[in-house]
Amino acid sequence: MDPQWLLDTYGNAFFWLSMVIIFVECGLFFPILPGDSLLFSIGLFIKRGDVDIALGVALVLLSLAAFAGNVVGYEIGRAIGRPLYERDGRILKRKYFDQTIAFFDTYGNKALVIGRFVPIVRTFITVVAGVGKMDRKRFFTWSAVGAVLWAVGITMLGYLLGNIAFIQNNLEAAILLIVFVSVLPMVFEWWMHKRRSRTTV
């Protein structure tokens, strides 16, 4: 989903469509949606005057959409988590649940904040938290912290860079860079996993 195409196609409705996409990515099992690049583009479009909404209002609404998506994902996991866990499916494997619960135990509240910045992880970490019956107060509190840091941080990045002519004229390249940076944590984790595997052999 190209943000510029969405803007050209939907005009001012682009922002509200973006809120829906953010909500869905954060809680309804659609990990391939462009959350990071969309937030960056919203900030840039507001700076350029292409989107008619106050920056402060946009930041609040995007944070709420991200948090609401997480809450829905958590409640889905909590409601039907045991059947998902016992089923041990091809995508939602039991070992992934166990590993994520162990990840929570190791990193504590930071897991909910750090996971927010990693594509795919931010989609599934919510349902796994629900499956693991994480305390609601703990989940809601730190999920809210992560939602605000993610939505505000990346949107503000786009807004602050919105005056740079190179960024404005090369939006696709800027978005690709955002996507590349966002997947670095997964690449690093994969590399560390391979190193640990070699060490234990």
With a cut of 70, say whether residue 70 has pLDDT above it: yes
The predicted structure's pLDDT at residue 2? 75
Nearest of 63, 5, 8 to residue 39 by alpha carbon? 63
Question: pTM for this structure?
Answer: 0.76
Contact 146, 112 (CB under 8 A): yes
Q: How confident is the model at residue 110 (pLDDT cuts 50, 70, 90)?
A: confident
The predicted structure's pLDDT at residue 85? 67
Mean pLDDT across 112-139: 77
With a cut of 80, say whether residue 171 has pLDDT above it: no
Mean pLDDT across 1-27: 85
CA distance 120 to 32: 7
With a cut of 80, say whether residue 175 has pLDDT above it: no
The predicted structure's pLDDT at residue 151? 92
CA distance 23 to 17: 10
Nearest of 173, 63, 19, 7 to residue 164 by alpha carbon? 173
Q: How far is CA 47 from CA 51, 139, 162, in A?
A: 8, 33, 6
The predicted structure's pLDDT at residue 120? 67
Tokens found for residue 4: 């510029």
Q: What is the pLDDT of residues 33-54, one digit of tens each?
A: 567 788 888 998 998 888 889 9
At position 53, the amino acid (one-letter code) is I
Q: How confident is the model at residue 93 (pLDDT cuts 50, 70, 90)?
A: low
The predicted structure's pLDDT at residue 68? 94
CB-neighbour burial class of residue 4 (10 A; exposed 0-12, middle 13-18, buried 19+): middle
Q: How confident is the model at residue 16 (pLDDT cuts 50, 70, 90)?
A: very high
Tokens found for residue 111: 């897991």
